[in-house]
Amino acid sequence: MKPNVYFVVGPTAIGKTAFAISLAKQLHTEIISADSRQFYRDMYIGTAVPSIDELAAVPHHFIQHKSIFDNYSVGDFEKEALVKIDELLKAFGSAVVVGGSGLYIEALIKGLDVFPDVPDAVRTEVRDLYQNEGLSAIQNRLQQLDSEYYNEVDLQNPQRILRALEVSLASEKPYSFWRNQNQVYRNFETKLLGLRTDRSLIYERINKRVDIMMADGLLEEAKDLYENRNLNALNTVGYKELFQCFDGEISLENAVEAIKMNTRRFAKRQLTYFQNRLSATWLDIQQLPNIEVLLKEL
């Protein structure tokens, strides 16, 4: 029998870290983070990195191990994380992976998808559309060509949208058609646990988290990162809204409200992604079972 790797997924602010720590303690193993925003040591407050106490409770891997100046792809993560999973399985017999970045979770479970080549002419066409008509233009084009992926992707991430458009136009098939075509072998059994609850409670937790982040110094952290605002790592909720504030485009009050709104939208897309793409055992955080009992039932 293959050893088990337990994946804890769900929307932001749902409580994945606390649950993963309880799970890892019960299993006497360690945790691998699959949250792509928490890879960067220059971004602490805005990415809700586990606290010092949480990191001390159970060893975590892939937390703040990269600089915002590093090029670190999902492919890089897949290779390195699979090596670490193998080490943990040999040492402890199981491992826990936690995160809200669906693509990174899928890379570990299913492997990366293989897409057709994109001619330079198509790439230029798509990039010109973005440069000339803006984000809304490529969002609308994606909705026309691939409504399935449109409902999953982070619509504020132009790189993801551009890539999907390039593949869709080059292949004359939706980007989503090419996903899950590549079957890979893994030396472990996947145990996928999803956390969810009433949407109103998720939104309440998100709003409270943003307020705590601001009180903890997110504004100052964003100021320190502002000069590097064009880096891909910083094209993320919590920073880009404050950068708009620094540019004089919106007030600080409106920036904070935008962070809350965009985080709520992100959480909704996370839930849609995990529910549509992965077959998980879903747990309501208001009625979480005893960890020991849960493990026996899986």
- Is 10 assigned to a binding site? yes
Please tell me the distance from the alpha carbon of residue 217 to that of residue 45, in angstroms, as a whole number.
Answer: 7
User: Is residue 15 part of an annotated ligand binding site?
Assistant: yes
Q: Which helix (H) or strand (E) holds 70?
A: none
Provide the 3-class DSSP secondary structure of residue 261: helix
According to DSSP, the residues that pair with 193 across neighbouring strands are 8, 281
Q: How confident is the model at residue 153 (pLDDT cuts 50, 70, 90)?
A: confident
Element (H, E) at 173: none
194 labeled binding residue: no
Task: Tell me the average pLDDT of the chain.
Answer: 94
Identify the band that residue 207 occupies on the pLDDT scale cut at 50, 70 and 90. very high
Give every CB contact of residue 130 below 8 A, 6+ residues apart in sequence: 137, 138, 158, 162
- CA angle 274/261/41 to nearest 5° reads 70
68 is in an annotated binding site: no
Model's pTM, two decimal places?
A: 0.83
**Topology of 120-178 in CATH?**
Histone, subunit A (1.10.20)
Does 281 show up as a binding residue in the annotation?
Answer: no
Structure tokens at 102: 């669906």
Per-residue pLDDT band for 298 (boundaries 50, 70, 90) equals confident
- Provide the sign of the torsion angle of the four alpha carbons 25, 31, 36, 42, taken in this order: positive
Instruction: Give 204-212 contacts, CB < 8 A, sequence gap 24+.
Output: 205/13, 205/14, 205/15, 206/12, 206/13, 206/260, 206/263, 206/264, 206/267, 207/260, 209/12, 209/13, 209/48, 209/263, 210/238, 210/256, 210/259, 210/260, 210/263
Residues 226-260 have pLDDT tens digits of 999 999 899 999 999 999 999 999 999 999 999 99
Q: Tell me: the pLDDT tens digits for 178-203?
A: 887 767 889 999 999 999 999 999 99
- Which of the listed CATH numbers 3.30.70.1230, 3.40.50.300, 1.20.120.420, 3.30.420.480 matches domain 4-112+182-297? 3.40.50.300
46 is annotated as contributing to ligand binding: no
Burial status of residue 200 (CB atoms within 10 A of its CB: 0-12, 13-18, 19 or more): exposed
Q: Which residues, 6 or more positions from 146, have their beta carbon under 8 angstroms from its beta carbon?
A: 164, 168, 174, 175, 176
11 annotated as belonging to a binding site for a ligand: yes
14 is in an annotated binding site: yes
- Tokens describing residue 72: 């670190």
Strand pairing report for 60-61 and 31-33: parallel
pLDDT at 140: 95
* Domain chopping of the chain, boundaries: 4-112+182-297, 120-178
Is the pLDDT reported for residue 67 higher than 80? yes
